[in-house]
A and B are shown apart, each in its own frame.
Chain A
Amino acid sequence: SQELEQSPQSLIVQEGKNLTINCTSSKTLYGLYWYKQKYGEGLIFLMMLQKGGEEKSHEKITAKLDEKKQQSSLHITASQPSHAGIYLCGAAHNFNKFYFGSGTKLNVKP
């Protein structure tokens, strides 16, 4: 979706390294969601951010929302092969429109 830009499109990191994925919106965000997808499978919900400056963590994954910049980042600390997959951000821009970014494909080399 052009409403949500994700970067990078793909990422290969060595196991144990940290990484960051970004999601940028051209419109006001009413809620930002991060999902993970294994190839050929459904999406697994990771985190939801609603307030500017909000930060949430789950295990080694931290997500932040900067509402002024209309940007969210997903940071993985000490990456593991189990983190590999496609990470997608999704957001609601108005009353009934929900968009997804095109995804970031992550590979973690053991």
Chain B
Amino acid sequence: DGGITQSPKYLFRKEGQNVTLSCEQNLNHDAMYWYRQDPGQGLRLIYYSQIVNDFQKGDIAEGYSVSREKKESFPLTVTSAQKNPTAFYLCASSTVSGGTIYNEQFFGPGTRLTVL
């Protein structure tokens, strides 16, 4: 079955540590996205990538970093510079038509990060 996997489902981090969240898709989608979800605030875009070896900042990129070395993988690193990292993180992917990201996004199950 095609889909998006995220790991781990739950992650605990001590202050000052960097952590990396995994996102893998086998849908052959060109575009991948990382969102952060906080209670009552919906989803906010952290980073997105439309092609391998290229990515753009979203609305809340500060304190995060990504890489896109393979089409299937888009890992997100939450660095110690992120002041309030406790949140639910969602990865998504989509096809790209005409260079736009208007197409339906498929979501992974999410990773809940808690800073101790």
Chain A residues with CB under 8 Å of chain B are 1, 4, 6, 9, 30-31, 33, 35, 40-45, 48, 88, 90, 92, 95-96, 98-103
Tell which of B12-20, B40-48, B62-70 binds the partner: B40-48
Contacts of A30 in B (CB 8 A): 100, 102
Given A40-B112, A42-B90: A92 touches B101 (CB 8 Å cut-off): yes
Contacts of B26 in A (CB 8 A): none
Q: What are 16 A-to-B residue pairs whose CB atoms are below 8 Å? A: A1-B42, A1-B43, A6-B42, A9-B40, A35-B107, A40-B110, A42-B4, A48-B104, A90-B105, A92-B102, A95-B99, A96-B56, A96-B101, A100-B44, A101-B42, A102-B42
A-B contact count (CB 8 A): 62
Which residues of chain B from 51 to 95 have a CB within 8 Å of any chain A CB?
56, 88, 90, 92
Contacts of B56 in A (CB 8 A): 96
- The 4 residue pairs across chains A and B that have the minimum distance between CB atoms: A42-B107, A102-B42, A100-B43, A43-B107
Chain B residues with CB under 8 Å of chain A are 4, 6, 33, 35, 40-45, 48, 50, 56, 88, 90, 92, 99-102, 104-110, 112
Contacts of A102 in B (CB 8 A): 40-42
Whether B100 pairs with A96 at a CB distance below 8 angstroms is: yes
A90 to B56 Cα, complex, angstroms: 19
Which partner residue on chain A sits nearest B3 by CB separation?
A42
Give the Cβ gap from B86 to chain A, nearest Cβ, in Å.
Answer: 14
Give the Cβ gap from A106 to chain B, nearest Cβ, in Å.
Answer: 15
Whether B43 pairs with A88 at a CB distance below 8 angstroms is: yes
Contacts of B105 in A (CB 8 A): 33, 43, 45, 90, 98
Whether A42 pairs with B108 at a CB distance below 8 angstroms is: yes
Contacts of A98 in B (CB 8 A): 33, 45, 101-102, 105
Whether A33 pairs with B110 at a CB distance below 8 angstroms is: no
Contacts of A100 in B (CB 8 A): 35, 42-44
Contacts of A31 in B (CB 8 A): 102
Contacts of B4 in A (CB 8 A): 42
Give the Cβ gap from A54 to chain B, nearest Cβ, in Å.
Answer: 14
